[in-house]
Amino acid sequence: MARLGVIGATGLVGGEMLRILEERAFPVDELRAFASPRSEGRRLPFGGGEVVCRVLEPGCFDGLDLVAVDVDDPLSVEWSPVAAAAGATVVDNSAAFRMDDDVPLVVAEVNPGDAHRAPRRIVSNPNCTTMVLVTALAPLHRAAGIDRMVVSSYQSVSGAGWPGIHELDDQWTKLDGRSEALRRAGAVDGVIVPGDVWPKPIAGNVIPLAGSVKDAGYTSEEWKLVHESRKILHAPDLAVTATCVRVPVFVGHALAANVAFHRPVRREEAIDLLAAAPGVELVDGGDGYPTPLDGAGVDPVLVGRVRDDPSNPGGLDLWVTGDNLRKGAALNTVQILEALAR
Ligand SMILES: NC(=O)c1ccc[n+]([C@@H]2O[C@H](COP(=O)([O-])OP(=O)(O)OC[C@H]3O[C@@H](n4cnc5c(N)ncnc54)[C@H](OP(=O)(O)O)[C@@H]3O)[C@@H](O)[C@H]2O)c1
C-alpha cells in the first residue's frame, strides 16, 4: 500500500488521475490532495468517500511515498524537489524536468525500465501529443528503426487545461443559434471575440500554432515532439519535424505522421506489429478509421489509415488518436506509479 499525494487534484489531469486510481484499484493507504488556496477545503470524491483539498506548505509531503504533480511548470519547479527531499518519488506531468539528463522521461509501454533510474527521485511524464504518437510508433521503431518522421498534430482544447475547455465552451455557446448569421458572415470573425487562451477564436476555427513560438519559428509544442520523442525512444539522431495545430475538439489529440525507416516497412508488416502492440488498438481497413471522439475516454491509442508512402517506398503514412487526459497524462502517470509501487 502506498501513501500518495496528488498536486493539482482539482485540475483536468488531476481529476482524471483520481478517477483512474479508483478504476485501477491503486493500493492507496493515504491520499493527500493538493490544490491552490482557492480550493482549500474543497471535497473531492474518492474511493467511495471524500478527500479534502489542502494547500502546499512546508512539511505537507512528510510521510508520503509517491507524489503525482499535475500543475504548471513553475509550481513543479518549486515543489517537486521539496516532495523528493521529503522522501517521496515524484511523477511529474509538467514540462519542468523532462529534458534533464538525470530525470527519466517514461511511456509505460515503451521504456518502463527508465522509471527505476531516477537519481533525483523525479520521473517525468511526456507531453500529451508526444505520448500518443510514441506509444503508437514504438513497435515500428523497435522493428525497423525510425529514421525520420514528419508530423502534423490536431490538438484538443483540453490540452490547455480547464481554461481551454471553458474558452471553447463559451465561444461554442455564442455560436449556438447563430448559424444563419455565420453563414451570411462566412466567418466567425466579429461574432466570436477571442478569449484569454488563444488570440483568435477557437470555435469554428483551426489555430496553426499550438504552444508559443520558440527557435526557428517552431513552437514549444513542436520542439517537445522533437526532443521528447528522441529521449523516450533512445534515438538521439532521430530526425523529426512537426506542425502543431489546435482544433475545436474538447478531448482527444490526433496526429498524421509520415515515417521513414532504416529498412523498408510495408503496410502488412506494420499492421501485424501494431495489432500486437501493448497500449495500441488498430482501427484500420475498409472505411474504418479512429477519430478523437473514438479515442476519448478509453485507454489505448487508436491507429488507422496505415498506408505505404508512394513518394518514399518502404515508408508509411498513418493516423493516431488518443485521449490527452488519459494516456496523454493521467493514465501514464498512474502506470508509472504502479511500477514504482511494485
Ligand atoms: N491537459 C492536458 O492534456 C495535459 C496533458 C499532459 C500534461 N499536462 C500538464 O499537466 C499539468 C496540469 O494541467 P491541467 O490541464 O490539469 O491544468 P488545469 O486544469 O488548469 O489544472 C491546474 C491545477 O493546478 C492547481 N494549482 C494552481 N495554482 C496552484 C497553487 N498555487 N498551488 C497548488 N495547486 C495549484 C489548480 O488548482 P485550483 O483548482 O485550486 O486552481 C488545478 O488543480 C500542466 O503542467 C500541464 O502542462 C496537461
Which residue has a Cα nearest atom 26 of ligand 1?
36
Whether the CB-CB separation of 338 and 26 falls below 8 Å is answered with yes
Using CB distances shorter than 6 Å, the residues near ligand 1 are: 8-14, 34-36, 38-39, 56, 70-72, 75, 93-94, 128, 158-159, 161-162, 324-325, 328-329
Calculate how far, in angstroms, residue 201's C-alpha sits from the geometric centre of ligand 1.
Answer: 23
What is the pLDDT, as a whole number, of residue 177? 64
Pairing of strands 316-322, 253-261: antiparallel
* pLDDT tens-place string over residues 39-89: 999 999 999 999 999 999 999 999 999 999 999 999 999 999 999 999 999
Rounded percentage of the chain residues whose pLDDT exceeds 90? 91
C-alpha 329 to ligand 1 mean position (Å): 11
Pocket test for ligand 1, best of 13, 20, 67 (most atoms within 8 A of CB): 13
Q: What is the distance in A from the centroid of ligand 1 to the CA of 168?
A: 18
Ligand 1 centre distance from Cα of residue 92 (Å): 11
Q: Cell numbers at residue 44, please?
A: 473531492
**Catalytic residue positions, numbered:** 128, 253
Q: Where are the domains of the chain?
A: 2-126+330-341, 130-156+206-324
- pLDDT (tens digit per residue) in 150-209: 999 999 999 999 999 999 999 888 776 666 656 555 455 566 788 999 999 999 899 999
Q: How confident is the model at residue 172, as a pLDDT? A: 85
CA 142/CA 120 separation, integer angstroms: 29
Is pTM beyond 0.75? Reply is yes
Whole-number average pLDDT of the chain: 95
Pick from 7, 36, 247 the residue to mutate for probing ligand 1's pocket: most ligand atoms within 8 Å of its CB.
Answer: 36
DSSP bridge partners of 244: 153
Residue-wise pLDDT tens digits, 16-36: 999 999 999 999 999 999 999
d(C-alpha 306, C-alpha 286), whole Å: 11
Q: Which atom of ligand 1 is nearest to the CA of 162?
A: 19
Say how many C-beta atoms besides its own lie within 10 A of residue 295's C-beta: 28
Assigned CATH for 130-156+206-324: 3.30.360.10
Tell the CATH topology of 2-126+330-341: Rossmann fold (3.40.50)
Ligand 1 atom closest to the CA of 10, numbered from 1:
43
Segment 31-35 long-range contacts (CB within 8 Å, at least 24 positions apart) = 31/4, 31/5, 31/6, 32/3, 32/4, 32/5, 32/6, 32/60, 32/61, 32/64, 33/5, 33/6, 33/9, 34/5, 34/6, 34/7, 34/8, 34/9, 34/60, 35/7, 35/8, 35/9, 35/10, 35/11
- Which residue's alpha carbon is nearest to atom 31 within ligand 1? 36
Question: Residue 297 C-alpha to ligand 1 middle, in angstroms?
Answer: 19
Question: Per-residue pLDDT averaged across 315-333, rounded?
Answer: 98
Sequence-separated (6 or more) residues with CB below 8 Å from residue 95: 73, 127, 220, 224
Q: How far apart are CA 134 and CA 138, in angstroms?
A: 6
Contact indicator for 144, 261 with CB cutoff of 8 Å: yes
How many whole angstroms from its chain centre is CA 115?
A: 17
The pLDDT, as a whole number, for residue 285 is 85
Q: What is the pLDDT of residue 185?
A: 53
